[in-house]
Structure 1
Amino acid sequence: MLKNYLLLFAAITFVNTCMAQDTVEVKRKISTDVTEVYKVLAKDVNTRQGLFKALYKNKIPVASGLYVNDKRMGLWKFTDRDGVIIQTYDYTNNRLFYEAKEDTTSRLRYFVDKELKEGDKVTKPIKMGGTFYGYLPYLTLFTLPKEFKEIDRDAVVATVELLISPGGRLADYKVNLMQYATVEPFKTINMNIKLPDPADLVFIPATLNGEPIACRVIIRCVVNSRLHLDFE
């Protein structure tokens, strides 16, 4: 029995040593208010290894979990900007544990291209990462075109429009620029859906009466000082 305990202890020590050695800490600002803090292998700076957190205003962990050989593993926790948990997801088993209900204060709106009847049951598409951190890439990938850089940013709103297929894939991605108090955009920019991170193409699809259905997600945003987008 003692021998077994010693072998187990040695194995745990070996794993912990592998996880800890030869890594370098990286801090990467991904939006005006969110900074990612994680470690990469010293011999391969593109491979994330160990604990990860994304901090809102350098204090609230809106995303936290573990990377092993650049893959998310185990249970990850995602919060809103107040630190309230809005999603937990098990990346090892690809299983959603918890998704918070959204109310009228949500910055996201969902639309299915089908007339709904009384009694229909509809579920929204779900982005791994939650309704804050999970949708940040679609905001930060946008840069205001040069011809609009002199525009009064305070007089402009933007909407990010995502089309999620019944198969749970990002099928269309566009940004609409509008003047305040107007409905029609003065410019629609079609974004490339060949995104840097393939994980940003994947969703849990919306359903209608238990069957997958296409759904549009609309996110209301503002143009920030870096000429990217922030949640309104």
Structure 2
Amino acid sequence: MKYFFALLLCVTTLNLFAQVTQKRDEKLIQDVQERYSVLADSPSIRHGFYQAIYRKKTVIASGRYERGKRVGMWHYYSKTGQLLQNYDYDKHAIVYSSPVDTMRSVRYIIDDEIKPNDAIAPPIKPGSVYFGYMPYVKLIQMPAGLEEFDYTTLVATVELLVSPGGRLADFKIRITRPGGFININKVADMPLDAIEPEDKIFLPASKNGQNVGMTIIVTCRFDSRGRVLF
């Protein structure tokens, strides 16, 4: 029996050692900081409580990681602190979604004919319309050769094609200059490998109750220094 307890103590000690974490505080995008922990013996693996904070005062996302995966209930908020969505990662289900879970900078395009009485539901991203799109927005970079332009006149769009099954099928970043004398239209096809597996999953769009593919367009601008504003 004493050997059993000795073995149990050893296993428990090893398990506790494996759970030792280190805190991180990093910029996610302009105006948004991440606060989270990683495993001490695996610094690339997030583990424990997570927060994303807008301008150092407003929490826009909170939840827990378990060895690199989001688990349990996560809460997502707008930049003003209004609750937008509660998402249960254990059940892969939206528990709550605010009726104002929309942003003017996010729009949807369906590659199909729409009749006046059709019921259309856009794809839904776990994380809502603000925090949910940051994994793609943070990959926007100012292309070379545009240094002579006023950055505030440029527009960046993230274009996400979501399949009828709710999977990210294509990802593009486009830089344009609307209304300018010199036309700018630079497009980069982004590798899907640059996206974490959990950020390739959506609740699919539907038309009259049937799943359909749809493109999500997320529009961002730049400040005078070429930093992305979202």
**Shorter-chain TM-score: which interval?**
0.7 to 0.9
Cα separation, 1, equivalents of 2:214 and 2:17? 40
- Aligned CA distance change for structure 1 residues 146 and 212 (closer, same or farther; 3 Å): same
1:67 counterpart (58, 65, 68): 65
Same amino acid, percent of matched pairs: 37
User: 2:193 aligns to what SS in structure 1?
Assistant: coil
Cα separation, 1, equivalents of 2:79 and 2:152? 22
- Equivalent in the alignment of 2:218: 219
Cα separation, 2, equivalents of 1:119 and 1:60? 40
Q: CA deviation at 1:140?
A: 0.9
**Contact conserved, 1:62 with 1:80, CA < 8 A, in 2?**
yes
Structure 1 stretches lacking a partner, 5+ long: 1-13
Q: CA deviation at 1:20?
A: 11
1:116 counterpart (114, 117, 130): 114
* One-letter amino acid of the counterpart of residue 70, structure 2: R
Q: CA deviation at 1:194?
A: 2.0
- Equivalent in the alignment of 1:203: 202
**Contact conserved, 2:204 with 2:213, CA < 8 A, in 1?**
yes
Structure 2 stretches lacking a partner, 5+ long: 1-11
- Aligned CA distance change for structure 1 residues 145 and 98 (closer, same or farther; 3 Å): same
User: 1:220 aligns to what SS in structure 2?
Assistant: strand
Q: How large is the Cα RMSD of the aligned pairs?
A: 2.4
* One-letter amino acid of the counterpart of residue 160, structure 2: L
Cα separation, 2, equivalents of 1:104 and 1:28? 27
What TM-score comes out, normalization by structure 2 length?
0.84
Is 1:44 paired with 2:48? Answer: no
Cα separation, 2, equivalents of 1:212 and 1:180? 33
Deviations 1:187-219 (A, max 9, x none): 222222222412221111101111110111111
Deviations 1:131-180 (A, max 9, x none): 00110111111211222244310121222211111111111222222224
Dislocated runs of 4+, deviation >6 Å: none
What TM-score comes out, normalization by structure 1 length?
0.84
**Contact conserved, 2:74 with 2:87, CA < 8 A, in 1?**
yes
1:133 counterpart (126, 131, 134): 131
Cα separation, 1, equivalents of 2:227 and 2:56? 20
